[in-house]
Chains A and B, each alone.
Chain A
Amino acid sequence: MTSLEGLRDIIPPDRLFVDPAQLKSFESDGLTAFKATPRAVVLPETSDEVVAVVRWCARERIPFVARGSGTSLSGGSLPVEDGIVIGLNRLNRIIDLDPEERIAVVEPGVINAHVTQAATPHGLHYAPDPSSQIICTIGGNVAFNSGGAHCLKYGMTSNHVLAIKAVLATGEVVTFGSRSRDHLGPDLTGLFCGSEGLFGIALEITLNLLPPAEEFHTVLVGYRSLEAAGEAVSAIIDSGLLPGALEIMDALAIEAAEAAVQCNYPPGAAAVLIVELEGPREKLTVERVQLDELLSATHAFETRVAASAAERLSIWRGRKSAFSAVGRLSPDFIVQDGVVPRSRLGEALRRIQEMSQETGIRVANVFHAGDGNLHPLILYNGHENGALERAEALAARILRMCIEMGGSLTGEHGIGVEKSAYLPDMFDAPTITCFKDVRHAFDPNEISNPGKMFPGPEAPALQHSGAHPLEKAGIISRE
């Protein structure tokens, strides 16, 4: 085994962990069903230190995994057994915030919500809002092209990244993109986003900021069936309105949210729909009437319009709590984020219900209805023999259904370790070979986050289940 001597020259002992007790808290990320023990964890404080560590790893051919807050739901920051974990939380400086050009340049360890906090006094915000935004970092968002509730209108993380300075797995430092929203030449910034850490580590990320919407019109609608809620979504989409958010929760998810936060959703609803329009008040004045008329023509049994900012937050509270709330219904659950064409949402949900009845495994559904992004929560008890395996088998059937319907394995969590075995269900052999060749162009020795995205022997086996400590503490949720 290579000694860590070279590494000790780069990172002082108080930021280089090798003690098993210290390594323990880095064994897993948001996907707690997997764990692996790294050889060492380093906590660099400057990008020069990150570059030096990567160059050391490249020289010694030791695999490394970059990690932010470890909220990945696909096992994206799972350590490589005996590799190095590079914890980036201390690279948390907002290097530049330029309100005139609407740009923020940040280090990878900056927390997502901190960008908006810093931009708010200037009348700006950072649009991508994954539900773990109060803890997840921009570096992780870039690596996994994180989503959130507003993707239909605003796109994903990559749509808000203008430039990336990165150290590639070879140790070379590169810059892709610029502060211009235009770009000449191939979009390497776009390719880097969502590369799941397989190319290298982003050191500086240039983000596009937007003025927040001036006003919101938020409506909560109760339906007696999931189909009726689905039909309402179709009516909204066909009307020419472009809502900022369109979310549906089913009965089991509502039950959980009620128990957790007493959100007081319409009692007896088989599904609730949350629709939010946003924009300048002059446009909303017209569009809200259009939406309200349209909703009254659906089979809604109760419609509530938020009359104040407080009522809007109260509507959203139930939705935002849904994932952690489901944790109260069951000791363990698996969440996935497959995507189906929006017009087949109703069919997908019916089939998930059938699979749930057939297997006797409870499934709660919360989803981004506007973009067809499902979030089935598959409930199980990890202490029950074989329960995890049965839940995994159901999850696999749901994923394959998404592909069969012309959708995607993942809308926002990424492939990671969790779904790597399914990649060949979505992409044919020449395409996967191409992906691997692209990875080798950036990382010829496969040392940057190996074991993610591609199926193969590198992926570790299931070892454990249970909620993430941060999830138990109510800080993050699996969405």
Chain B
Amino acid sequence: MNNPTTESEVIEVVRAHARLLPVGGGTKPQLGPIHENTHRLDLRRLTGITEYQSSEYTFTARAGTPLQEIHETLGGKGQYLPFDPLWPEAGATLGGTVAANAAGPGRLRFGGLRDFIIGVRLVDGRGQVIRGGGKVVKNAAGFDLPKLMVGSLGRWGVMTEICCKVFPKPIAWSSREWVFSDHESALAKALELSRSRFEPDAIEYLPAECRLVLRMGGPAESLPALNNAVGGENGPDDTWWRQRKEFIWANDSKALIRIATSPRQVVPLLNALAADSDARTQVSAAGNTVWVNTGEVSQLDEILGSLQLTGLVHRGPSTALWLGLKSDQKIDAALQAVFDPEHRFSDAG
């Protein structure tokens, strides 16, 4: 029963192992088990969309469901996941996406995982099923356990089923781009665009080329006029945006680190990273996320520490998971005692 296909099998596996950690498609391997004696609970057979009515703007799927399957099903009804999850083509699952809070460029418009997850079923460390949230788009009943799962890295338990809100997918997309002479002016433009009337869906910055790229969706007839009004040059096509979520720009023999930033912290970080000639960087969501691909992990750890920033290693070789400023909340331990009193899932974050 190593690869459960039902929730009751998940319960059995949880109860049978003193240390375990759920894994999905393995697209963010550094977030998975580190220790040899930790059981990898493979959820790739716990799949399937269990409910989907497009008129509700919601769907429910088992945690191991591949994002691609969800994309295809939603796409058939003209809907999509506005948080724009990462690594869909590499095989990422819905559960892993929630646990890693892995939102992509499109999160700029309507928000990330936290803004679209509305319900969760979870097998906790006691092997009990906990059910948080609900299946309707608006719900203020009980504590918001679905949000607590976002970014949890599997530490509270094994998510078995997840319910999300979805939106109608824009009919057509267009992209614009600008090249600047320095990071300051590029980031200033990014912020100007993010508070403009145009409601951009994505604003990404490629520091190596000082290139700022914007994406807008909408009715096809409206896009030429919007393109003119926004300015800039014609930007990249849909393939480029798809590949961006697969991180084809990153070197897999080096570590890939995600850093949560406020927009104003981006330029100082990029400047500090200039010392590492080896590092590749990408700035996402108008300066709210910086991705760094480097072999110099300990140097980055120091840089982040000095800038009071936190990084999380998603892929590639690294002995550390967290870099820079470490969170040290007493409440984390108290919540762990609630969800996982025997520390079955402690090999996470």
Contact = CB atoms under 8 A, between A and B. Distances in A.
A191 B148 contact: yes
Nearest to B196: A211
Contacts of B195: 99-100, 102, 123-124, 211
Contact of B330 (A158, A172, A237): A172
B150 A190 contact: yes
Interface stretch (A10-18, A25-33, A380-388, A404-412): A404-412
A233 to B, nearest CB: 9
A396 to B, nearest CB: 15
A218 to B, nearest CB: 18
A408 B140 contact: yes
B140 A156 contact: yes
Kindly state the interface size class of chain B when it binds its partner.
Answer: 35 or more
Given A100-B264, A190-B147, A234-B55, A430 B136 contact: no
A187 B151 contact: yes
B101 A179 contact: no
A145 B140 contact: yes
B128 interface: yes
B128 A430 contact: yes
Contacts of A368: 138
Interface in A342-374: 342-343, 368, 371-373
Contact of B147 (A191, A279, A342, A411): A191
Interface stretch (B40-48, B61-69, B176-184, B221-229): B221-229
B308 to A, nearest CB: 10
Interface of A: 99-103, 123-124, 144-147, 151-153, 155-156, 158-159, 168, 172, 174, 176, 178-188, 190-191, 193-195, 211, 213-214, 234, 237-238, 240-242, 279-280, 282-283, 285-287, 290, 339-343, 368, 371-373, 406-415, 419, 423, 426-428, 430-431, 434-435, 437-442, 453
A369 to B, nearest CB: 11
A172 B332 CA distance: 13
Interface in B176-199: 191, 194-199
Nearest to B51: A406
A151 B335 contact: no
B147 A158 contact: yes
A147 B138 contact: yes
Given A147-B138, A283-B226, A426-B142, A237 B57 contact: yes
17 contacts: A100-B191, A145-B144, A151-B137, A158-B147, A159-B115, A181-B107, A190-B114, A194-B144, A211-B195, A211-B196, A237-B55, A280-B199, A286-B221, A411-B139, A423-B141, A426-B141, A427-B131
Contacts of A283: 218-219, 222, 226
Contacts of A195: 143-144
A187 B260 contact: no
Given A186-B150, A187-B114, A430-B129, A442 B136 contact: no
B176 to A, nearest CB: 14
A181 B264 contact: no
B56 interface: yes
B317 interface: no
B331 interface: yes
Nearest to A427: B142
Given A183-B101, A183-B260, A368-B138, A188 B285 contact: no
B5 to A, nearest CB: 22
B262 A240 contact: no
Given A190-B144, A426-B141, A178 B331 contact: no
Interface centre among A100, A181, A426, A439 (most CB of B within 10 A): A181
B232 interface: no
B288 A442 contact: no
B277 interface: no
B260 A414 contact: no
A185 B327 contact: yes
Interface centre among B124, B196, B262 (most CB of A within 10 A): B262
B307 interface: no
A439 B142 CA distance: 11
Given A183-B260, A372-B138, A410-B140, 20 more contacts: A145-B144, A151-B138, A176-B329, A178-B262, A180-B261, A181-B285, A181-B288, A184-B260, A187-B101, A188-B148, A282-B222, A286-B218, A286-B222, A411-B138, A411-B140, A415-B141, A415-B142, A427-B142, A441-B335, A442-B331
Given A237-B55, A237-B57, A242 B168 contact: yes
B132 A431 contact: yes
B263 interface: yes
B186 to A, nearest CB: 14
A184 B101 contact: yes
Interface centre among A145, A168, A240 (most CB of B within 10 A): A240
